[in-house]
Chains A and B, each alone.
Chain A
Amino acid sequence: MFELLGIPPQALFGQLLLGLINGAFYAMLSLGLAVIFGLLNIINFTHGAQYMMGAFVTWMLLNYFGIEYWYALVLAPLIVGATGIVIERLMISRLYHLDHLYGLLLTFGLALIIQGLFRNEYGISGMSYRPPELLAGGHNLGFMYLPNSRLWVIIASVVVCFGTWFVIEKTKLGAYLRAATENPTLVGAFGINVPRMITLTYGFGVALAAFAGVLAAPIYSVNPNMGESLIIVVFAVVVIGGMGSILGAIITGFGLGLVEGLTRVFYPEGSAVVIFVIMAIVLLIKPAGLFGRAA
């Protein structure tokens, strides 16, 4: 079949793998955006910058403190998540009574400031992060070579995405979150501290972005603009999946990564725009997104 299409299996599977990896990042980032949007009703434009911060903190932990990748997987999301909590308490929480647009402007402005600060300090050439030994090497699957570092990204993102889905859809904590998304006033009248829940949710969404940043550090170059280019695509993914849908964000993220990979095999010229074309079509047919609830 591959010979018929004139495409060597190595190229096909190579691009599918690349697509799956991109999809893993789309899924993690759009998941964080969906979690934040669900409860805060704010489109977090700082998300790309927070992903970049995750990668930078990972790099700093290793280069300044000698703290290895495996510790950074936990530490970097905690550190960046904590900065998110500070931002929510000091700034975003003052905007809830205003139009959504203000939240968007604030988070967009914050993204520019954060990126500017990092650019000022580290330049734009990017830095490499030495992958841990465990992730060196790979497996020869016969039809393709699978590097361990890439396999790890896919496994880690699937676990984190579905772990998040499980917590939100199947646990008591998630029930509070879903209820507060529907009717925060009533949930507060039951005795639950909704403002604290909102703060922690924002912190969690930011930590998810930072976790994606940690995963990105060994396989991409760590540079201040790494989030900016990715986040545009992620917003398209969110629009396609439907704002606020948890499972929708995960499935669309991985799915669109694969679609992008396939396009790169069969019609390379279209690979850069295919997601935006899909977004336009979805908006025409189903404006609420594939998994979104109609407003």
Chain B
Amino acid sequence: MPEAVAVQDPTTRPGGVSVADPHLSVKGLEGWYGESHVLHGIDFDVAKGEVVTLLGRNGAGKTTTLKAVMGILTKRKGSVSFEGQELIGLPARKIARAGIAFCPEERGIFSTLSVEENLHLPPKVREGGLGIDQIFELFPNLKERLSSQGTKLSGGEQQMLAIARILRTGAKMLLLDEPTEGLAPVIVQQIGQTIARLKREGFTIVLVEQNFRFASSVADRHYVVEQGRVVDCIPNAELDANIEKLHAYLGV
């Protein structure tokens, strides 16, 4: 994270960092599951080509934040601005068409679809998505399993499929919800390499992670979420200096 881009502005952005020209800017985002108020004002910015993580304990509101940005959580207010366009009030399908892609924690592989059908399901929303050859280069396992039923894949392969299918669409802003959860270390490593590669290719990524070691290996900055608020922002470069503080936040 270059120093010039990040400007500390504690008065308006509690615990946050403002980015000069954010790709995605979330301000005062509140959200509800039915009557239950779960997001109390989420603030964070992501610059183009950046990888940021949302860290926090279980139930802090990290997944809900991604769902609120994506429009899957419909009862929400505040501001989510993407490439200058306000997304609050838009249905999920229009947010997807605006160029944001979401990979859910439960992966969402369709059991009645083959691997190939799963891979081709999300429609292209823009030019410039990865071609099918590039996808097979990233995830060679998928190529051999194309005709299998989607849910017959191993957990790791399902995760790769879940990421692969949103890379085709041309969306350059990816919301990844715990992509390493429950996976073997060698697969986690492969997903880490994939994220690094995507960053090099100019993708902007918001990552929700429990695996803090993994998060620190791929991200530029870490936002700490507590009880539905962003309470801190730690650049990855300053992670070592802040490790005590972070452990306190995460309760590890």
Binding site secondary structure of chain A: helix
Interface-facing stretch out of A71-79, A187-195, A255-263: A187-195
Q: State whether B108 touches A191 (Cβ < 8 A).
A: no
Instruction: Of the listed stretches B45-53, B88-96, B129-137, B190-198, name the one at the interface; the rest are far from the partner chain.
Output: B88-96
Contacts of A179 in B (CB 8 A): 110, 112-113, 117, 121
CB distance from B24 to the nearest CB of A (A): 16
Within 8 A of B (CB), among A168-193: 172, 175-176, 178-179, 181-183, 185-193
Q: How far is the CB of B65 from chain A (nearest CB, A)?
A: 15
Please judge, given known A-B contacts A188-B92, A189-B70, whether A175 and B121 are in contact too, CB under 8 Å.
yes
Q: Which residue of A lies closest to B171 (CB)?
A: A191
Partner of B123 from the list A185, A191, A194 (CB cut-off 8 Å) is A191
Residues of chain B within 8 A of A175, CB atoms compared = 113, 117, 120-121
Given known A-B contacts A182-B111, A188-B92, A191-B97, A176 and B121 have beta carbons under 8 A apart: yes
Q: Which residues of chain B come closer than 8 Å to A190, judged between CB atoms?
A: 93, 96, 101, 121-123, 166, 169
| A187-216 at interface with B (beta carbon < 8 Å) | 187-194
Q: Is B125 an interface residue (CB 8 A)?
A: yes
Q: In the assembled complex, which residues on chain A have CB atoms less than 8 Å from the CB atom of B71?
A: 189
Asked if A178 meets B113 with Cβ closer than 8 Å, knowing A185-B92, A189-B92, the reply is yes
Closest to A187 in B: B121
Q: Are B110 and A182 in contact (CB under 8 A)?
A: yes
Determine the chain A residues whose CB is within 8 A of the CB of B169 once the complex forms.
Answer: 190-191
Residues of B within 8 A of A178 (CB): 110, 112-113
Complex Cα–Cα for A191 and B98 (A):
9
Residue B44 lies at the interface, judged by CB distance under 8 Å to chain A: no
Task: Return the chain A residue nearest B111 by Cβ.
Answer: A182
Q: Give the CA-CA distance A186 to B121 in the complex, in Å.
A: 11
B72, CB-defined interface residue at 8 Å? yes
* B contact residues around A181 at 8 Å (CB): 112
- Contact partners of A186 in chain B: CB under 8 A: 104, 108
Whether A191 and B70, one on each chain, are in contact in the complex, defined by CB atoms closer than 8 angstroms, is no
Q: How far is the CB of A295 from chain B (nearest CB, A)?
A: 14
Residue pair B112, A189 in contact (C-beta under 8 Å) = no
Please tell me if B82 contacts chain A, counting CB pairs below 8 Å: no
Tell whether, in the assembled complex, residue B93 and residue A192 are in contact, meaning their CB atoms are under 8 Å apart.
yes
Per the bound structure, the CA–CA distance linking A225 and B222 in Å amounts to 67
Q: Mark A24-46, 1 if CB is under 8 A from B, else 0.
A: 00000000000000000000000
**A194: which B residues are within 8 A, CB to CB?**
93
With both chains docked as a complex, state the minimum distance between the C-beta of B113 and any C-beta of chain A, in angstroms: 6
Nearest A residue (CB) for B112 = A178
Chain B contacts of A188 at CB under 8 A? Answer: 72, 91-93, 96
- The smallest beta-carbon distance between B168 and chain A, in angstroms, is 11
How close is A19's CB to chain B, nearest CB, in angstroms?
32
Contacts of B223 in A (CB 8 A): none
Asked if B203 is at the interface (CB within 8 A of a chain A CB), the reply is no
Going nearest first, the 3 A-B pairs with the smallest beta carbon separation are A191-B96, A190-B122, A178-B112
